[in-house]
Structure 1
């Protein structure tokens, strides 16, 4: 009996296994669209980099949303940080929040680094998580404390640069992608890309250095199975 085609991939010439693999490669590793095109070609799959781009935008968004819906509740200690990025020759700020386990809670690209920008990030985080953290850890930027006070949040606030390595380390994949993409072309493009990239990274955030080899392989297998369930496609083609 012929296996039915998932409705998600209706009217697409390529099967879900090919599309899911292309999207996974693009968001999971610091690869350009043309690199993904070449890796697929090595498997005998002839698609253009433009097709990969359209797949990444359409299916990557859907997969990221599904990952968010099934994600466990975030930790109760949030690490917030902001880092400068240059877009089209202009300075922007990438605001990021992670929990104590290193899972990215959200990112927000903004043109300012002030109290209102910090408030916008906090409101977005609180709306998405539906609960306030026990502790908020930031650097010495005064905007966080001002935003917390204006919003009436009764959260323990720790300000110390040395305590915020967790969120600073989470910048590294973004910086690698920024270099690979030869910088983001617009604030909207950066926001769209990172809002897909980070949930997929969370799914495969296995903290290998904290696990035994056997436990790591088991966790990795579970992540692959979760991806297959989310995308209706296993990673093997």
Structure 2
């Protein structure tokens, strides 16, 4: 089960591709079963990862990208620090002040207040950061410098490469679960999992360790 789910969130493979690969290894499993396994396992692994996630830097780059869900475009909010480590992510139906603020509050709840937040020219994101500044009294610096946000825009592409063979998600619930798994695997590849045994392990072994 873990092998199938790992292949799905780690590589540019569709469920039928994984079904064929497993058959070549002598394991016969239907792609719909793999899908059910992913929906069952990934929330557990994503929650375990959040408990063992390494701290991130205090200079954040925040942006959103588009994801196709049920034939409609939805918004995936994401932020990385200046070194490219993922701060947080959130799939939403809307792109507005309330949503941007919810994303920031979620990220701050996990990592604390940043010293700097770099965004694009989005009015909603600007207002959200200013509201957080006013509510907390924190002297976080708000920057709107296009080239500084290149790092998060490039990081979007790693997620998009994995989801492209999926041709969109069937429902918002499925999208949230599967994207959480993809983001978790992406963060593991970037070395963001605090390995309990302090030994170097492959990204796959780190992923499997979340189930322990």
Short-chain TM bin: 0.7 to 0.9
Q: Could you tell me whether the CA contact under 8 Å between 2:85 and 2:190 is conserved in 1?
A: yes
User: Does the aligned pair in 2 maintain the 1:28–1:197 contact within 8 Å?
Assistant: yes
Taking the TM superposition and a 5 Å limit, the aligned residue runs for 1:51-66 are 51-66=33-48
Aligned to 1:134: 115
Query: Where does the alignment leave 5 or more consecutive residues of structure 2 unmatched?
Result: 192-198
Q: Is the 8 A contact 1:135 1:158 kept in 2?
A: yes
SS at match of 1:170: helix
Matched residue, 1:98: 80
* CA gap 1:47/1:84 in 2 versus in 1, 3 angstroms: closer
Quote the offset at 1:145 in angstroms: 2.2
CA distance in 2, matches of 1:112, 1:75: 28
TM-score normalised by the chain length of structure 2:
0.85
In the alignment, what sits opposite 1:202? 187
Q: Which runs of 4+ in 1 moved over 4 A?
A: none
Question: What per-residue deviation string (whole Å, max 9, x for no partner) do you get for residues 15-58 of structure 1?
Answer: xxxx2211111111121111111111111111111221121111
Q: How far is 1:87 from its partner?
A: 3.2
Change over 3 Å in CA distance of 1:227–1:94 after alignment to 2: closer
How far does residue 70 in structure 1 lie from its aligned partner after superposition?
1.1
Offset of 1:165 from its aligned partner? 1.1
* Paired positions, count: 202
Q: Does 1:85 align with 2:67?
A: yes
Q: Residues 44, 72 of structure 1: CA spacing in aligned structure 2 closer, same or farther, 3 A cutoff?
A: same
Bigger Cα Rg = 1
Asked whether the 8 Å contact 1:98–1:104 carries over to 2, the reply is yes
Q: 2:31 aligns with which of 40, 49, 54?
A: 49
Partner of 1:146: 127
CA RMSD, Structure 1 to Structure 2 (Å): 2.2
Local SS of the residue matching 2:210: helix
Equivalence for 1:39: 21
